[in-house]
Copies of this chain bind each other. A is one copy, B any other.
Amino acid sequence: MEEETAAKSLKNKEKSKQKFLHAVEKILHTKGFSGLKVNDIARTAGLDKKLIYNYFGGKDGLIDEYIRSQDFWSNVKSESGGSLVNDGGKKFSKAMLLSQFDYIFKNKNIQKILLWGLVENRKSLKKLASDREENGARLFESITDPYFEENAKRYRAIIALLISGIYYLDIYANTNDCTFCGLDLKSVAGRSEIENAISFLIDKTYE
Contacts and interface: CB of A to CB of B under 8 A. Distances in A.
Interface of A: 32, 34, 115, 117-119, 121, 126, 129-130, 133, 136-137, 140, 153-154, 156-169, 171-172, 175-183, 193-194, 196-198, 200-201, 204-205, 207
Nearest to A33: B119
Contact of A133 (B182, B194, B204): B182
Given A126-B177, A153-B193, A201-B204, 5 more contacts: A119-B175, A137-B182, A154-B196, A160-B194, A168-B168
A117 B193 CA distance: 24
A164 to B, nearest CB: 4
Per assembly, the copies of the chain total 2
A159 B197 CA distance: 9
A26 B90 CA distance: 46
Nearest to A128: B178
11 contacts: A118-B168, A133-B182, A154-B200, A157-B183, A157-B193, A157-B196, A158-B201, A160-B165, A160-B194, A163-B165, A201-B205
Contact of A183 (B153, B176, B183): B153
A130 B153 CA distance: 35
Q: Is the interface of A mostly helix, strand, loop or mixed?
A: helix
B165 A180 contact: no
A34, A181, A204, most chain B CB atoms within 10 A: A181
Contact of A201 (B115, B153, B201): B201
Contacts of A172: 118, 164
Contact of A182 (B121, B140, B177): B140
A133, A157, A171, most chain B CB atoms within 10 A: A157
A67 to B, nearest CB: 15
Contact of A178 (B34, B129, B197, B198): B129
A153, A160, A171, A180, most chain B CB atoms within 10 A: A160
